[in-house]
A and B are shown apart, each in its own frame.
Chain A
Amino acid sequence: MNRWLIAVGIAAAAAVQLILSKLVPELGSRIDVFLILIAAVARGGDMRSAIVTGAIAGGIEDSLAGQLFGLNGFAKTLIGYLLASFSIRILVDHPLAIALSLAGSVIVNALAIGGLRFLLAQSGTGPTIAAHMSRALLTGLAGVVLAALARYPWRERWRTTRMRRLRS
């Protein structure tokens, strides 16, 4: 995938995460925008792009969050690789497949962070299982909506509307 497109995608994901945290904090904490971007890149099947996107997006998420720098970076790099590996073998195109892959990624992300925190003997109380589940559900749903919006033939729709207006 084009490097510049990935860079713009990462910046857009960061902007959306910031906007959500300011406007609707409840939703901002329940939708993993960076993960949706990583999954979108991984669906293209380019492993290197997915890994690098995961590493950068995770690093940005770490700098915004207050925990150890690198927890999200590590988890999201791994998820980028796993999702790209899946996409090479299985076609993740159906809305349900997209939702499930995203929900699964949220769980893998939480498990990786929890595991790393345990290994590094970090104290603290994390989000509850219910919070992880709602995050998985909402991230899956948001991913499906965004994938549908990305696939919608906007250009053709705009052209048809324009032609119709010109005729009338």
Chain B
Amino acid sequence: MAAPLPLNRPRILLASILTAYFILLSLQAKSRENGNRSQLEGWTLVILRPLASGVSTLVENAREAGTGIVDLRGAAMENARLREDLRTRGMEINRLHQLQGEVERLESLLGYRSAAAPSGSLARVIYADTRGWFKSIIVDRGTESGITVGSPVLGSNGLVGRVVYSTADLSKVQLLIDSTASVGVLCERTRVQGVARGDGAAGMTLNYVPRGADIRAGDRILTAGNDGIYPPGTLVGVVLLAAEGDGSFREIKVRPAAALTSLESVLVLPAANLPADVREFRP
């Protein structure tokens, strides 16, 4: 019978742990491209869940208590402003209802079938890593809430990213600014299409836009819906800089619309229902 490893010797313990980690890394390095992740990662997240959730609640309560005291001072003025705002919004809603009725009438005349508004689940951000190699956040909703790998994630101002890993009640979201994230987009004003990629810092670049295409600083960039992941027409960001570039494509920098470094809650939409042969296609 083989003798057990003498793990009480520091060097043997070190070598064993390093070898185990290296094997784990090697196994993931290939399979991760297909969305597979280590089971250990899931178990560690499950163990961390109560701590992360507790800390998040504690911090939010403390923050609310702090801002609540400060906000009391300007509450009366704020109240008056909000009443006015509510009145304006009410009028806006009435106008939009009228327009929606008109659109529905025209749709029925043309026989057009519009896509149903997606229902998502609201999730709280419990951890954000926006400075490391992989820009990601962890949210407190998982497969129990219908979230799966590939689910698009929206913030209050625009697109945030997509789910890359999910346990029963936690999900890891890859942010748009990550250097391996990309999304099919178009310019709202000119409908010119391209691919927005994270620059690995705090912004994005718009790739494959041919020289001469009409895009300028300030243009709004929306999802094109041609990547099979993100719903079309969602605001991705605003063009910061649009240079001509040296090659055949323009050099365009985009500022993400959502405040990716200070997210508190997000909306996770159901993953696009792609046919199995498309979803599992591997070149």
Contacts and interface: CB of A to CB of B under 8 A. Distances in A.
Are A and B interaction partners?
Answer: yes
Interface of A: 11, 14-15, 18-19, 21-23, 25, 29-30, 47-48, 51-52, 55, 59-60, 62-71, 73-74, 77-78, 81, 84, 113, 116-117, 120-128, 131
Given A22-B55, A65-B134, A77 B41 contact: no
A68 B129 contact: no
Interface residues of B, number: 53
B213 interface: no
Given A68-B32, A127-B132, A48 B10 contact: yes
Given A47-B10, A68-B28, A77-B21, A18 B44 contact: no
Contacts of A21: 127-129
A63 to B, nearest CB: 4
A132 B120 CA distance: 38
A19 B55 contact: yes
Contacts, number: 144
Nearest to B45: A63
B133 interface: yes
Contact of B28 (A63, A69, A81, A131): A69
A166 to B, nearest CB: 35
Contacts of B10: 47-48, 51, 81, 84
B234 interface: no
Contact of A22 (B25, B56, B133, B134): B56
B203 to A, nearest CB: 12
B32 to A, nearest CB: 7
A130 to B, nearest CB: 11
B132 A67 contact: yes
Interface of B: 8, 10, 13-14, 17-18, 21-22, 24-26, 28-29, 32, 37-38, 40-41, 44-45, 48, 51-52, 55-56, 58-60, 63, 126-136, 138, 164-165, 172, 174, 178-180, 199-201, 261-262
Nearest to A12: B51
Contacts of B129: 21, 29, 64-66
Q: Is the interface of A mostly helix, strand, loop or mixed?
A: helix
B131 A18 contact: no
Contact of A77 (B17, B38, B40, B58): B17
A74 to B, nearest CB: 4
A107 to B, nearest CB: 16
B43 to A, nearest CB: 8
Nearest to A116: B25
